[in-house]
Amino acid sequence: MSARAPSLILRATLGFALVALLAVGGAGAFLYHSLERTVLERADYALLGRLAHFRSLLSADLSLETLGRSPQLFANMLGNEQDVFLIGTPGAKPVIASNPLQIALPDLPVIPQTRRPTRADLREGRLADGIRWRAARVAVNTPEGPVELTAAHVLRNEDTTLADFRLGLLGAVTLAFLATAGLGYLLLRRGLAPLRRIARHAGGITPTRLAAPLELADAPRELQPLVENYNAMLARLADGYGRLVQFSADLAHEIRTPINALMGHTEVALRQVRSSEEYQTLLASNLEELERISRLVESILFLARADDAQAVLTPQPLQLAEELARIADYFEGPADERGLRLVVAGGGEVIADPLLLRRALSNLVANAIRYADPDGEIQLQADGGRIRVSNAGPALAPEHLRRLFDRFYRADPSRHQPHDSNGLGLAIVAAIMRLHGGRAEVEQNERGIHFSLVFPTPAA
């Protein structure tokens, strides 16, 4: 079993803590190096100043003999420092030797009288306990002859100060890391509370609670699009589930009627022996019901596949005048039976799947022939991307007009006929138009009812 991924709160908390660690640590490192540079500069300049001061004294006023009789002078000048101060002639034992720690200095380069010593002339070493020292040697031309002056400064106080600062800096960085991690965890947990509320709400969603939206008022601004889309998704699911429930109920009702008819006819026929003519009549009636079921199943399958049929469309340019004339010729016989005339007008071109367009037009014309007033006319008009099928017939109430494209809906169930579309004909028209990116419309006025197929306008 794979290990669980760390939580978003944990990852964000560690990320914030790491940023704080880098920020505080970086700032602390900068301050430490700045402090170290300042401390070393002060120590070095003090050492160089000491060398310059004694070089001046030896060059003008003091003699080696005088210095030898005044050892307290150097003790006072060095104070409590553990520094080294040596004065003597080259190659001889120093006349003045102040070296409390007995530091063994290496052979230092001699800075000539003509040049002022700088920090670059200082040499560095370490004591046994790791404490650093800095030293330099200068030449002095005295009235008594050449003299060498050696000075070294032990950086014990400076290193102790820097060590204390490092320890304090480490504590500050650690405290900043822990404080950022703790506060970040609490703030993130509080900030992500809306997400946990969404998760709890999603966990409680059932088919009976699809219409319960998530409250948007207290959601953070960043989460409002998520909450809005979540509520919109619930609304779509509720609508789809409601349609599915209604569709299932309508389907059960539609299939139950022909099946009950088949069962009733068959039970009556089996109660006694029938003649061959009676059996033939029964089979013909059963065949009619089976054909009705077959048409119903075919329509249901088409609607079920309509949402996934976009990829199998074969759109091509179609001349509407030719398509309307083709449909009018096909339905000329059924129209004549009811004394209806099919009138074709207009033209234009659309990009559509020819088979699906003809099916949509056929459904509209068949519906118009079925419900039009006898001895009237049915108009098939085309105007650019709009096709209109109009007929004069009984007026429909507004509540019926709005639902004409719903599945299994019949505005007048009493006018049900054996060969009708089971209330799916107009639903198929709407599905075909959705596949083409268009829409199906219906309107009613004093001249009758008008169905329109509106195709999208081609991009320029």
- Range scoring the smallest mean pLDDT among 52-61, 204-213, 321-330, 437-446: 204-213
Asked if the model's pLDDT at residue 126 lies above 70, the reply is yes
Q: For the domain that residue 42 is a member of, what is the CATH number?
A: 3.30.450
Determine the pLDDT at residue 418: 47
Determine the pLDDT at residue 344: 92
The answer to whether residues 87 and 68 belong to one domain is: yes
Residue 247 belongs to some domain of the structure: yes
What range defines the domain where residue 268 resides? Answer: 221-306
Q: What distances in angstroms separate CA 3 from CA 10, 111, 192, one per listed residue? A: 15, 69, 23
**Residue, of 239 and 111, whose pLDDT is higher:** 111
What is the residue-wise DSSP string for 171-229?
Answer: HHHHHHHHHHHHHHHHHHHHHTHHHHHHHHHHHT--TTSTT-PPP-TTS-GGGHHHHHH
Domain boundary among 281, 306, 331: 306
Mean pLDDT for all residues in the chain:
80
Asked if the model's pLDDT at residue 432 lies above 70, the reply is yes
Domain boundary among 306, 341, 362: 306
The answer to whether residues 326 and 396 belong to one domain is: yes
Calpha distance 14→289 (Å, rounded): 71
Q: Please state, as a whole number, how many other Cβ atoms lie within 10 Å of the Cβ of residue 429.
A: 25
Residue 338, helix vs strand vs coil: coil
Asked if the model's pLDDT at residue 38 lies above 90, the reply is yes
Asked if the model's pLDDT at residue 380 lies above 90, the reply is yes
Confidence class of residue 113 from pLDDT cuts 50, 70 and 90?
A: confident
Q: For the domain that residue 300 is a member of, what is the CATH number?
A: 1.10.287
Q: Are 117 and 136 in contact (CB under 8 A)?
A: yes
Determine the pLDDT at residue 415: 46
Determine the pLDDT at residue 414: 46
Residue 115 belongs to some domain of the structure: yes
- Range scoring the smallest mean pLDDT among 163-167, 209-213, 456-460: 456-460
Calpha distance 315→350 (Å, rounded): 9
The answer to whether residues 140 and 233 belong to one domain is: no
Asked if the model's pLDDT at residue 232 lies above 50, the reply is yes
Determine the pLDDT at residue 410: 63
Determine the pLDDT at residue 325: 92
The answer to whether residues 288 and 301 belong to one domain is: yes
Calpha distance 79→99 (Å, rounded): 13
Confidence class of residue 37 from pLDDT cuts 50, 70 and 90?
A: very high
Mean pLDDT, range 292-312, rounded to an integer: 66
The answer to whether residues 120 and 169 belong to one domain is: yes
Confidence class of residue 1 from pLDDT cuts 50, 70 and 90?
A: very low
Identify which of 383, 360, 361, 368 has the alpha carbon closest to the alpha carbon of residue 429. 360
Determine the pLDDT at residue 97: 79
Domain boundary among 259, 281, 306: 306
Residue 146 belongs to some domain of the structure: yes
Mean pLDDT, range 381-396, rounded to an integer: 87
The answer to whether residues 394 and 429 belong to one domain is: yes
The answer to whether residues 241 and 162 belong to one domain is: no
The answer to whether residues 92 and 230 belong to one domain is: no
Residue 209 belongs to some domain of the structure: no
Name the range with the highest mean pLDDT among 208-217, 357-366, 406-415. 357-366
Determine the pLDDT at residue 258: 75
The answer to whether residues 318 and 436 belong to one domain is: yes
Distance of CA 257 to the CA centre of its chain: 51
Residue 203 belongs to some domain of the structure: no
Number of domains comprising the chain: 3
Mean pLDDT, range 199-211, rounded to an integer: 74
**Residue, of 348 and 227, whose pLDDT is higher:** 348
Q: For the domain that residue 392 is a member of, what is the CATH number?
A: 3.30.565.10
The answer to whether residues 297 and 334 belong to one domain is: no
Close Cβ partners of 349 (under 8 Å, ≥ 6 residues apart): 317, 318, 319, 320
The answer to whether residues 380 and 301 belong to one domain is: no
Determine the pLDDT at residue 381: 92
The answer to whether residues 292 and 326 belong to one domain is: no
Helices vs strands, H then E, count in the chain: 12, 13
Residue 50 belongs to some domain of the structure: yes
**Residue, of 431 and 249, whose pLDDT is higher:** 431
Determine the pLDDT at residue 423: 67
User: Where does residue 35 rank: exposed (0-12), middle (13-18), buried (19+ CB within 10 A)?
Assistant: middle
Name the range with the highest mean pLDDT among 177-191, 231-245, 361-375. 361-375
Asked if the model's pLDDT at residue 400 lies above 80, the reply is no
Residue 170 belongs to some domain of the structure: yes
**Residue, of 457 and 26, whose pLDDT is higher:** 26
Residue 183 belongs to some domain of the structure: no
